[in-house]
């Protein structure tokens, strides 16, 4: 991270000043391209100081890219009425904006991914010229995260972690929930990954990549574990959800799979019931996640009848010290769920006292740090995720 950051810093105050002159005073807008100028080079943030701004392999280009997929005079950036445009100059391998090859000039927007041959760059814009030093640092932070996010997606750099789901009576592992982690600085946890994904409108792609990696790496185990896979609320708006599940089914035809839907995404009973039926046809189960985190959606619950209801940590945390009224309420919900033939699961169990009370209240499954922390496949502390020893 430190070297990226250093690299992204202005090389000198003088350069900062130049940028201020060129953009800050009159138009109050700073445009940058952020990316690598050779395939194994470091990330740079290149200010667009003057237009037309030539991009190519030739030494006279304002942004000189040493990559054989880039033509000598590949493309140029133009500025018209405060807008930034990109124009391909008849390059052999083309210029792409957000994955689409451009024909004529194309307006660029902040956050766009523009690619010259095989060389991708993120378009960044910063307004508010008051303090150019501060502006540049904000943009740099943003640029670093965006470039990290590109790596996350293009290198499929998510590291699926697995957390055990146990039978509450004997603590035997029944399934594992897949949780996304990565080693990319700033994007270690799913909240950060999904907030960048949301800014770029690619939550669905990220969510799918996490599922597909987990299925890929567990389907080759001798007995593939039952996976609980999270889906993002944005995916419920897309008919492509079923296609994406069919894809993972094709990779792992018989593995037990259950999709988790966040309680907040449970809106329309009819479409959720259809989703449940479609999943069941593919042999995939449905779980309501974080039940009780917001308003309890009891009506939906009764009508949709998922296979599992995961009671949110907020209902479980310190339940052994909670007023008896709260315990009775959770107990009644557990009974109601069981009467419908749905399996209740206690989330976020952290200590033996919580474990014991949850068992008394009738929970069948449980999950939480008390049983196990999320861990990657290679260091998962149980044989369910270990490759079987070679047969001698």
In the chain, the DSSP E strands lie at 29-36, 43-47, 53-56, 63-64, 75-80, 83-88, 95-97, 100-101, 106-108, 113-116, 119-127, 159-167, 173-181, 227-230, 257-262, 284-291, 308-311, 343-346, 365-367, 375-376
- 373: DSSP letter: -
* 134 Cβ neighbours under 8 A, 6+ residues apart: none
The contact pattern for ligand G, residues 359-378, with x = CB under 6 A and - = no contact, is ---------xx----x----
* Binding status of residue 160 toward ligand G by CB under 6 A: no
* 8 Cβ neighbours under 8 A, 6+ residues apart: 34, 43, 44, 45, 140, 143, 144
Number of residues that bind Mn ion (CB under 5 A): 3
* Binding status of residue 260 toward Mn ion by CB under 5 A: yes
Structure-block tokens of residue 196: 């960048």
* Candidate ranges 196-204, 217-225, 295-303, 345-353; the one touching ligand G (CB under 6 A): 345-353
Nearer to ligand G, 307 or 350 (CB): 350
- Member of 348, 358, 363, 375 binding ligand G (CB under 6 A): 348
* Binding status of residue 347 toward Mn ion by CB under 5 A: no
* Binding status of residue 188 toward ligand G by CB under 6 A: no
- Asked whether the beta carbons of 131 and 30 are under 8 A apart, the reply is no
Number of residues that bind ligand G (CB under 6 A): 13
Nearer to Mn ion, 56 or 225 (CB): 225
- Member of 123, 153, 165, 179 binding ligand G (CB under 6 A): 179
Nearer to Mn ion, 263 or 289 (CB): 289
CA–CA gap between residue 392 and residue 376 (Å, rounded): 27
Nearer to ligand G, 235 or 290 (CB): 290
* Binding status of residue 289 toward ligand G by CB under 6 A: yes
- Member of 112, 150, 203, 289 binding Mn ion (CB under 5 A): 289
User: Length of the chain, please?
Assistant: 392
Report what 255 binds from Mn ion, ligand G, none; CB cut-off 5-8 Å by kind: none
* Binding status of residue 147 toward ligand G by CB under 6 A: no
Name the nearest CA neighbour of 308 among 371, 236, 230.
230
Q: Residues in the site for ligand G, rule: CB under 6 A? A: 163, 179, 230, 289-290, 313, 347-350, 368-369, 374
């Amino acid at each position: 991270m430190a070297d990226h950051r250093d690299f992204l810093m202005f090389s000198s105050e003088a350069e900062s000043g130049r940028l201020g002159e060129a953009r800050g005073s009159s138009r109050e807008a700073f445009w940058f391209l952020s990316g690598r100028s050779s395939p194994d080079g470091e990330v740079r943030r290149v200010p667009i100081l003057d237009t037309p701004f030539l991009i190519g392999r030739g030494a006279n280009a304002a942004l000189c890219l040493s990559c054989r997929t880039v033509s000598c005079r590949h493309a140029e950036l133009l500025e018209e009425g405060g807008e930034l445009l990109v124009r391909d100059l008849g390059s052999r391998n083309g210029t792409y904006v957000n994955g689409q090859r451009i024909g004529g000039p194309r307006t660029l927007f902040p956050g766009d991914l523009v690619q010259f041959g095989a060389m991708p760059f993120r378009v960044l814009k910063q307004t508010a010229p008051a303090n150019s030093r501060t502006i540049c640092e904000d943009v740099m932070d943003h640029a670093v995260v965006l470039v990290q996010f590109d790596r996350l997606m293009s290198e499929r750099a998510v590291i699926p972690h697995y957390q055990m789901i146990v039978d509450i009576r004997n603590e035997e592992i029944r399934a594992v929930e897949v949780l996304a982690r990565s080693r990319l600085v700033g994007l270690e946890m799913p909240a950060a990954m999904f907030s960048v994904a949301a800014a770029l409108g690619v939550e669905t792609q990220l969510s799918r990549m996490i599922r597909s990696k987990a299925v890929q790496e567990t389907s080759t185990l001798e007995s593939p574990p039952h996976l609980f896979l999270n889906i993002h609320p944005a995916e419920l708006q897309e008919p492509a959800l079923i296609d994406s599940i069919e894809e993972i089914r094709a990779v792992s035809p018989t593995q037990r799979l259950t999709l988790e839907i966040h309680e907040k995404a449970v809106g329309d009973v009819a479409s959720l019931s259809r989703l449940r039926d479609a999943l069941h046809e593919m042999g995939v189960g449905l779980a309501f996640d974080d039940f009780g985190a917001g308003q309890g959606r009891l009506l939906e619950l009764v009508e949709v009848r998922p296979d599992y209801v995961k009671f949110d940590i907020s209902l479980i945390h310190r339940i052994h010290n909670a007023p008896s009224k709260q315990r009775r309420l959770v107990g009644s919900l557990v009974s109601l769920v069981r009467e419908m033939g749905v399996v209740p699961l206690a989330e976020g169990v952290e200590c033996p006292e919580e474990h014991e009370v949850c068992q008394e209240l009738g929970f069948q499954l449980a999950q939480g740090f008390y049983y196990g922390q999320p861990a990657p496949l290679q260091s998962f502390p149980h044989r369910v995720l270990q490759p079987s020893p070679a047969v001698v």
